[in-house]
Structures are given as C-alpha cells and as structure tokens.
Chain A
Amino acid sequence: MSTSCGNPNAESDALMPRRRKFDRSKLCIKCKINQGNIVIRHAVYCKDCFLPMMYNKIKRTIEPTINPTPEGPRKKNLNPSGNLVIAFSGGLGSTVLLDVIYRGYFSSRRPRGETNTLSEGKDPKKERVWKEGKVCYVEVCGAFHGMRDRTDDVRRIVERYDDLEFVPLRIEDAFDESWWESVDLILSPCSRNGTPLSALCNYLSSLPAPTAIPSTLQTLTRLLLLHTALSTHSSHLALGTCLTSLSISLVSLVAQGGGFNLKEEVQEEWSPDSLSRSKGRSVRVVRPLKDIVMKECAMYAWWKGLEIVGQETWPGARQGISRITKDFIIGLEKDYPSTVSTIARTCAKLSPKDHAVGTCILCNRPAQPGVQEWKNRISIRSLSTDPPVSSEKASLAPYLCYACHTTLTSKSSK
C-alpha cells in the first residue's frame, strides 16, 4: 500500500515537524521573569507561580459551593451548614486534595468561635470554614483475594494532618446491618447467612460481566461515603477527582448507560429520601480539583513531597470499560492536552430530555422513566412471537435506573 500523499512537490522522506508543546517562549507567562518549570496545556509556569495559581484555581472551584444557597451579587462569608468529609482513596488526586484543603481551610485558620486576641476580633477569613473535618477511606481488598490491606498506610498519611479525624471503612460494610444501624439507617430485616464479606463476594461473583465489578464497587463506595457524611452531620463531601479523572468517568459513565446522571457525576446534592430533603438534611458532593489536570496534581505532589499510597489495580480491570477509557484518554492527553477539558465542558452542556421519575434504589441517583420499555424495544427477549407474560414474582427492575439495570443484566460477549 502506498503511503505517499501523491503531491509531486513533497519530498518523499519529509517528516512533519513536531508541534511545540508550549506557546511562545520558555519564560513563565505569569511573572515573565523566571524560566518556566512546567507546561500545562501549552502555558508555561515557573515553580513560584505554579503553586499560588493552583491554590487560587481550587479556591475558585470550591468556595462558591460552601454556602447552602448560591451567592448573589454581594460576596458573603463562608458559612457551611455542617462539617466536611474528605474522601481519600490513596490516589494522587485525593492526596493532593487533602493537603490543599488542610493548608487552606484548617491549619492556616483558628477553630471556629475561638478568638486569639482582642485586636484580631472575629475576622471570618482567619476562622476555619468547617467546624470539623473528617477523612474517610474505604478499603476494597475484601473484594479481591490476595489484595493487600492498605488501611494502615492510609492512616499513617492522614495522621500527619492534625485536627482531621480518620474514618476507615471497608467495602463489605455495605452488607453489614450493624454498620447501617450505626449511620442511623434502619433496614428491613432479611434472612441471610454468612458474614458481610461473604455476602459481598457472592454479590460480585454473580455479576454478569467484568465491567460490572468496578462499577459496582464505585457505587457501593459512594453510598458508604454519603451515609458516613450524613451521619457525621457533614454538609459537604469532597472527592479528589481531577479534570483528567472526571473526563474518564464521564465518558465511561455514558458508555455504561449512565448518561442520565452526567450532572450528578460532576456535582450533586444528595439526600437519602424526600423526607430528609424536606428537613434540609443533605450532602453536597463537590470536586474541588475538577479544573486541575492530573499533571498539575503530580507536580504539586512532587514539589510538596507528598507520599502517594497508590491504588492497587483490580484484577480483571484491564477488560473493563473504565480501564479502556482511562488508557484512551490518558493517551489523548499526552498529545492533545486541551481535549480533556473539552470533554468535561461538553458533558457539562448536556442535560437529559426526560425528567427523573424517582430515585434508583441501588445507586440513589435520579432514575429516568421507561427503562424496561426501552430495554424491551432494543433487545430480543424471546424467540416466541407471543407477547411476554408478565411474571408475578417481585422484581428490582422497575426500581433501577438504566445504568444499574445494565450493570446487573448486561452479559459479557466472551
């Protein structure tokens, strides 16, 4: 096969010149004095300008979400209605988030209600925004045989941050009735033999495809974090999802049938039920790093000397949609760094056509109407020409959103 473009004026051995990775010169675009140390989306920054730039970007993302109602034209003091839970996975994003939030909103400020000197008065900028902060970690090693328990490694890192309480959880807590009672959620009694861990393993082994396992674990982790936040009187749950991870999760969510919940994937206001919502009991899930790419997080962690515990790769994850999407987008980011932000911006413009008809009983996110009717229309359920007879057996299907329905029923092609 000829690889020539056919242009007789072109040299046959000519190579396309490589596009520069940065605009203009190697000088920092902010101070215009120092030589640059890092290139972020074609812009060059020196180390001295990079760190304040990153703090300001995170501040601009998180502060509008702190007060219960959005700010009007006049900027108000930061006054959340509850405490803060920082979700910590051991990964790069959550490690950076923990450090930034602690430096900006805890260590540099005095506890709420405390006044050091008379002259200091009650300057709100010197007071902590949240009264209490907790760092919540969900250990998933129980789901995979042979995976190392990293709770102690995570505890060691979190304990370096004074005044933040470490709250360790385990993924099998989702199947532990006593844990649900401890977070003030009363479940209907069910007859089940075995431990929560065995229940978790049975649940995962019954899933129809490898992709369903990381999706399920993400859903269970999210629910554990939300209920922990609610039970600790926290108004905010902060996740360490950076822009790169957000773009990956948005594309992956659409690929797995979760497009109806794109807005919730970026930011959501969650309540366990309508009664709690009417009483104002809700948790706002925020992603302060959503405008920070993974490269910025890595440079911050390196220059601040942060220790990254890391996340173990789940066995079989290579076959899943999430992993394939991650490999694709990280490869895209290398050559076209602006593409990642384009994905997030485009997804932010999307909104579902239909209104939600309730909440999915599995993932607790808004559920769209007509899930089962749609599934029936797009798939062959039976070779018989007779209309299907509706079963009298109780079924979860009518109460699930499309994404959870797909997770529980969509079989692997292998």
Chain B
Amino acid sequence: MPQRCCQYAGWQLPSLTEDYGTFCRLRRNDCGVTAVHISLKVEFGGGLELLFDNQRSHKLTLPARVPLDNSTSSPPSSPPSPQNNEYEGETKPVDVAYLIHWLRHHLLKERAELFMEGDTVRPGILVLINDTDWELEGEGEYVIKNGDEVVFISTLHGG
C-alpha cells in the first residue's frame, strides 16, 4: 500500500513499476514530497554560525513525519498506517518548530540558551523560509517541503 505523505493529501496508487517507499503523488497537486524523508538546507548568519561549529551552511535530511511533541530522541518505530488511529495523534508533518528542536539536539555545539528559549528561537533571531520572513509563513507551524531553505539570522550584535 502506498504511504500517505501528509495528512492533507489524497493519494493514488502508483504504477507497479514505481518504488512504493520513496515517492507519492498527490491527487490534487504535485508536492514533490518524499514519503519518508525531506531534504532541506539550513543556513546561519549574524554570528549564529559560531554556535554550530562555525559552519554557515548545512544540508539536512529529516523524517517526513515527526512526533507531535517535537521529541528528537528516536524516530517513529513503525511505518504509519491509515488504519492506525494513533497516526494522526502521535505524529505530524515535519515543520519548523521540529527543525528548531532537531538543530538544538543534533547540531548545536554550545550555549543552547543563545539559540532557543522555551519551544522556539530566542528573541532577536530572525527566521527566513525561502527568503521570506517566517511570520508570513506561519512561523513554527510551516510544513517543510523538499528543497526548502531555512535561514536563522542573529540580530543580537547590536549597533
């Protein structure tokens, strides 16, 4: 059975020659989202790269569906099933809120309090999604798509 790529999408049976596990097409529009993983680019600016091993640009691959509570300790144990009522409740499409937690736990080398405050980025850090202010894209609730570019810029260096 083909896997659903996100809760908003319909799905259709791919041809017998297609690889079930890697790609799923939407009935309404082609979102190009892989069923299992999402690839994206993350960049840091304004001095924030110092917290991430002094590396400005990172290419990441994240699971397409992630725990609802943004837990980054372990991936979902079994492939989701449409018949599984816990699918909708336990996981969500990977979004920027999850990305922030993931960066905190897997990429941040030091001084986590300079990057995160509570469940989001620290005040004074701007987030751009594909060169657009994340306030225009729904902030942490923006669902990340394959090939997206997310930039975190620190404004805390003052005048």
Contacts and interface: CB of A to CB of B under 8 A. Distances in A.
Interface of A: 21-22, 26, 35-39, 44, 47, 89-94, 239-242, 244-245, 289, 294-295, 297-299, 301-302, 308, 310-311, 326, 330-331, 333-334
A314 B155 CA distance: 17
Given A39-B136, A330-B123, A330-B124, A311 B158 contact: yes
Contacts of A36: 132-133, 136
B46 interface: yes
B59 interface: no
Given A44-B136, A308-B47, A295 B155 contact: yes
B140 to A, nearest CB: 11
Contact of A92 (B123, B131, B155): B155
Contacts of B151: 302
B123 A38 contact: no
A-B residue pairs, 10 tightest by C-beta: A93-B159, A21-B135, A245-B159, A334-B123, A298-B155, A91-B157, A310-B47, A91-B158, A241-B159, A331-B123
B120 to A, nearest CB: 9
| Residue of A44, A89, A302 most packed against chain B (CB within 10 A) | A302
Interface string B41-82: 000011100000000000000000000000000000000000
21 contacts: A21-B136, A22-B136, A35-B132, A36-B136, A44-B136, A47-B131, A91-B157, A92-B46, A92-B158, A239-B159, A242-B159, A298-B126, A298-B153, A299-B126, A302-B46, A302-B128, A308-B45, A308-B46, A308-B47, A330-B123, A330-B156
B132 A37 contact: yes
Interface string B117-159: 0000001101010011101100100000000000101111111
Contacts, number: 79
B46 A38 contact: no
B46 A245 contact: no
Given A37-B131, A294-B124, A245 B47 contact: no
Given A92-B158, A94-B159, 10 more contacts: A21-B139, A22-B135, A39-B133, A44-B136, A47-B131, A239-B159, A242-B159, A245-B159, A294-B124, A310-B46
B52 to A, nearest CB: 15
Contacts of B45: 301-302, 308
Interface centre among B124, B131, B139, B159 (most CB of A within 10 A): B159
B157 to A, nearest CB: 4
B46 A298 contact: yes
Contacts of A240: 159
Nearest to B47: A310
A92 to B, nearest CB: 5
A413 B138 CA distance: 45
A22 B45 CA distance: 24
Contacts of B153: 298, 302
Given A22-B136, A92-B46, A333 B123 contact: yes
A326 B154 CA distance: 14
A301 B46 contact: yes
A38 B155 CA distance: 15
B136 A90 contact: no
Contacts of A331: 123
Contact of B159 (A91, A298, A333): A91
B107 to A, nearest CB: 20
B138 to A, nearest CB: 10
A220 to B, nearest CB: 17
A294 B128 CA distance: 15
Nearest to B159: A93
A47 B132 CA distance: 9
A94 B159 CA distance: 5
Contact of A310 (B123, B132, B133, B157): B157
A116 B70 CA distance: 64
A334 B126 CA distance: 10
Contacts of B124: 294, 330, 334
Nearest to B141: A18
Contacts of A239: 159
Contacts of B128: 302
Interface string B97-112: 0000000000000000
B133 A294 contact: no
Contacts of B154: 298
